[in-house]
Amino acid sequence: EPEVTQTPSHQVTQMGQEVILRCVPISNHLYFYWYRQILGQKVEFLVSFYNNEISEKSEIFDDQFSVERPDGSNFTLKIRSTKLEDSAMYFCASSGRPGTTQETQYFGPGTRLLVL
């Protein structure tokens, strides 16, 4: 069964450093998403991406965040200058077209980011 994969599984970084989280979506999906979950809290939407453009983003997704699809398979989330409060699990998801029977989002296992 196809699945979304994410690397690394864990990342420890110093405050102020840049991190790049990577995701390989399901191969025939064209809609991509990032969510995060701070320990003990809800899963929160960050951003959605389609056709090399951001479709929707939340207020969490400020100028420190960016997303990119550098090649035909990977989808990345970059945090330019990490803060302590960026420590969380970050989940990537992918789907077919929203509003259709293919809209179900499939999530990856997550990257646990710890900012020291």
Partner 1 sequence: DAKTTQPNSMESNEEEPVHLPCNHSTISGTDYIHWYRQLPSQGPEYVIHGLTSNVNNRMASLAIAEDRKSSTLILHRATLRDAAVYYCILTSGTYKYIFGTGTRLKVLA
Q: Using CA atoms, how far apart are residues 39 and 103, in angstroms rounded to an integer?
A: 27
> Of 17 and 104, which has the nearer Cβ to partner 1?
104
> Of 72 and 99, which has the nearer Cβ to partner 1?
99
CB 79 within 8 A of CB 13: no
Of residues 4 through 63, those in contact with partner 1 by CB under 8 A are: 4, 31, 33, 35, 42-45, 48, 55-56, 58
CB 22 within 8 A of CB 7: yes
- Contact region with partner 1 (CB under 8 A), list: 11-19, 70-78, 80-88, 104-112: 104-112
**DSSP at 83:** -
**Residue 76 found at the interface with partner 1 (CB under 8 A):** no
